[in-house]
Chains A and B, each alone.
Chain A
Amino acid sequence: MSQDNSENTPGDVTDNSDNFGFKSREGQVIPGETVRLTDEQKTALKKRNRAVALSLIAFMGLIFAVTVLRLSQNIAAGAGG
């Protein structure tokens, strides 16, 4: 079952088990599917990754800010009581 990959256009989702697939730790090729992204899709993927990273950083920042505020409020309330 030979296959010429030059026929595949970017963006195709194709069973390329003969040529690609995943390599195990032992170097054995495990048949699988590969996705070839176009340049536009690669750019979109990078943008999405950046957006997820920024969202996570913002979320951590918010959690930190809320925790500090809540703690200081409770400490102040405790000291007052």
Chain B
Amino acid sequence: MNTLANTSEQRIEGEAVLSASPRDFFDLMKPRVMTLVVFTAFAGLVAAPVDVDPLLAVISIFSLAIGAGAAGALNMAYDADIDRTMKRTRLRPVARGAVSVEDAYTFGIIASILSVLMMALASNYLAAGLLAFSIFFYAVIYTMILKRSTPQNIVIGGAAGAFPPMIGWIVATGEISLDAIILFMIILLWTPPHSWALALYKNGDYQAAGVPMMPVAKGPKSTRLQILLYSIVLVIFAGAPVLTGLGGMIYALTSLGGGALFLLLAIRVFNSRAGEAGSAEEGALYAVRAGDKAARDLFAFSIGYLTILFAALLAEHGFGAFFAIPGLGL
């Protein structure tokens, strides 16, 4: 008898794929990451000094979200082997066999093309081109090249996540300006301390998967120092919007308060032994051993820090809460 599913493993995989639900495909798009992408892009769009048709703005942001999700799907397709090894990611749709690698690639490529075309229709070619480049950068440069080859993977790869506010800005203005570059730089500088804090308390996971994250390649001590250095640069640079006049009083106070807390947590990480206990016992994102708590706290707060910075810009430019700081603004 000629049977296609001639091993039990193949049969189970085949059945699982046939049972894939729309929810599994939605999960391929990394909805949590998409939320941050939409939020920062929206803040960039609102902060730009040009009014856009609201419906076109919403469709542009929607296109960006689909593009980001498509990049996530391509990432999960390529990284299925790594995801299967890591406790934190082993329940992802491709890793657990709910969606086949081929289906994830197909879904990712189709969604990428549609999102870029929709962006071109709804906004302008520069925004669409940058969206296409950011998908390529995340799926190919970061996922396929950098992630497995260098501890600087997220330092360079972080650019992919930094594009959304810049794209939001370009949707409104049609051009790249200094303020758009500053928003890009804030996320670029934010990514290393954010990702390395996670890598510290999930060190064993990355080690088992053979991903050369900084704690794996250079050790926890060096990583803690680099987290502190990047945090200092980030907190100082986050003040740049105040100098150019993009950020007003609310942004300045948020940046100051949030930055102080960020630095405090980064110093706590530096003084801790985070990353030296090995892998966390549980696979959950925030599960942590006692010695790694400082890293977990910094990771959790870093998301809040970025959110409040962009929320401040949103409040100032979208809700008329902008109070200029006398003597500042280029």
Chain A nearest CB from B1 CB (Å) reads 7
Tell whether A13 pairs with B59 under 8 Å between CB atoms, given A47-B22, A51-B25.
no
CB neighbours (8 Å) of A47 from chain B are 21-22
Q: Is the CB of A33 within 8 A of B55?
A: no
Which residues of chain A in 1-47 are interfacial with respect to chain B, using CB atoms and an 8 Å cutoff?
3, 11-15, 33, 35, 37-38, 40-41, 44-45, 47
Which residues of chain B in 1-27 are interfacial with respect to chain A, using CB atoms and an 8 Å cutoff?
1-5, 11, 14-15, 18-22, 25
Place the interface of chain A in its size category. Answer: 20 to 34
Q: Is the CB of B19 within 8 A of A51?
A: no
Q: Is B263 an interface residue (CB 8 A)?
A: no
Q: Is the CB of A65 within 8 A of B2?
A: no
A-B contact count (CB 8 A): 63
With both beta carbons as reference points, the residue of chain A lying nearest to B22 in the complex is identified as A51
Q: Is the CB of A66 within 8 A of B121?
A: yes
Place the interface of chain B in its size category. Answer: 20 to 34
Q: Is the CB of A3 within 8 A of B1?
A: yes
Measured CA separation A48–B118 after assembly (Å):
23
Which residues of chain A in 41-81 are interfacial with respect to chain B, using CB atoms and an 8 Å cutoff?
41, 44-45, 47-48, 50-51, 59, 62-63, 65-67, 69-70, 73
Q: Which of B4, B18, B114 makes the CB contact (< 8 A) with A44?
A: B18
CB neighbours (8 Å) of B11 from chain A are 11-13
Tell whether A70 pairs with B21 under 8 Å between CB atoms, given A13-B14, A14-B4, A15-B1.
no
Tell whether A66 pairs with B59 under 8 Å between CB atoms, given A44-B21, A47-B22.
yes
Q: Is the CB of B121 within 8 A of A70?
A: yes
Q: Which of B4, B19, B22, B62 makes the CB contact (< 8 A) with A13?
A: B4
Tell whether A62 pairs with B18 under 8 Å between CB atoms, given A11-B11, A73-B53.
no
> What are some 23 contacts across the A-B interface (CB < 8 A)?
A11-B11, A11-B18, A13-B3, A13-B11, A14-B2, A15-B3, A15-B4, A37-B18, A44-B20, A45-B18, A47-B22, A48-B25, A50-B22, A59-B118, A62-B59, A62-B118, A63-B121, A65-B55, A65-B59, A66-B122, A69-B53, A69-B56, A73-B53
Q: A11-B18, A40-B19, A66-B118 are in contact. List 4 more A-B contacts (CB 8 A).
A: A44-B18, A45-B18, A63-B118, A69-B55
Name A residues whose Cβ lies closer than 8 Å to a Cβ of B.
3, 11-15, 33, 35, 37-38, 40-41, 44-45, 47-48, 50-51, 59, 62-63, 65-67, 69-70, 73
